[in-house]
Amino acid sequence: MRNFIYVLGLTILSCGNRQAEIKSSDNSISTQPTTTVDSKEMSSKEICWKGTLNGKTPVFIHYQLDSNLIVGEITYLTTEDKLPIRLLGTIEDDKSYRLLEFDKSGNITGIIEGTPKENEFNGSWFSPRTKKELEMKLLPKDTLISRPSIKPDPNSIFGEYHYQYGENGYNGDIEFNKVSDGKAAFNILSLTNVERGPNIAEVEKDTIAFSGNKFIYKIPDSDVCEFKVTFYNGFAYIYYTKGYCESQFGLNATIDGIYLKTK
């Protein structure tokens, strides 16, 4: 993938402007390996950046936006295989981006934070494992990458989902198993930093009705602790629908966030 050399008659390559239209969840994108497309498919282009970490390590990033979700990949151009790594993240209330690098086991290997502008995307890259932080400087990259759908196959959403920040950092798990058509059993468990003595955020196993790839759940006996779970192709996203669930979970423990499908 180095230098992203494309053939098959592609003579003009163009990447998506960062002002590209934000699509709804039902028209989301895929995290399958990237492919080239011709100029007739310009409307499905992704947003692309190329630059360095700490002024030394060259990287290429591309992604698409789905409401406040960011879905894409990062490639470290000095690695031997130059294999893309999945990037999943969110646009925060202040319009800044927070992107997470996920390996196949759900471990978060890097955290990117910054606010893209028209002609630059500067910020920082942080390793949860080594605690090392590097400066990130990116410029728009003129490259065309297709935008497959991340709307999941209804039969593929069942299984186990996980995230982990470093060996002893925050972590969480979702189990979502089919009971019958339109019904599923689920439970969620998240822990804070294990080294400091974990606090727990837990939603005990329950059976719910759901439609499509999402459901909303109110924790029994709580006043306003309600959250929405949306399943995508390869990951799940949880967010609170009525604000943070105060006093519902242990200190600093929370169930919201992005979970990678692992089984």
Question: Model confidence over 103-155: pLDDT tens digits?
Answer: 999 999 999 999 999 999 999 999 999 999 999 999 999 887 877 678 999 88
Rounded Cα gap, residues 115 and 109, in angstroms? 20
pLDDT beyond 70 at 15? no
More confident residue, 150 or 50: 50
By DSSP bridging, strand 97-102 and strand 107-114 are: antiparallel
CA distances from 20 to 54, 72, 95, 133, 174 (A): 28, 14, 15, 30, 32
Rounded Cα gap, residues 178 and 231, in angstroms? 14
Rounded Cα gap, residues 159 and 153, in angstroms? 13
Residue whose token pair is 């005990």: 204
Q: Which pLDDT value is given to residue 13? A: 35
More confident residue, 86 or 223: 86
Query: Taking a C-beta distance cutoff of 8 angstroms, is the pair 151, 27 a contact?
Result: yes
Sequence letter at residue 21: E
Sequence letter at residue 121: F
Q: What is the mean pLDDT of the chain?
A: 84
Task: Please enumerate in sequence order all residues whose Cβ is within 8 A of that of 33, keeping only pairs 6 or more positions apart, or say none.
Answer: 84
Q: Which pLDDT value is given to residue 45? A: 74
Query: Model-level pTM greater than 0.95?
Result: no
Per DSSP (E only), the strands in the chain are 47-53, 57-66, 69-76, 85-91, 97-102, 107-114, 121-126, 133-140, 159-165, 171-180, 183-191, 200-209, 214-218, 226-231, 235-240, 257-261
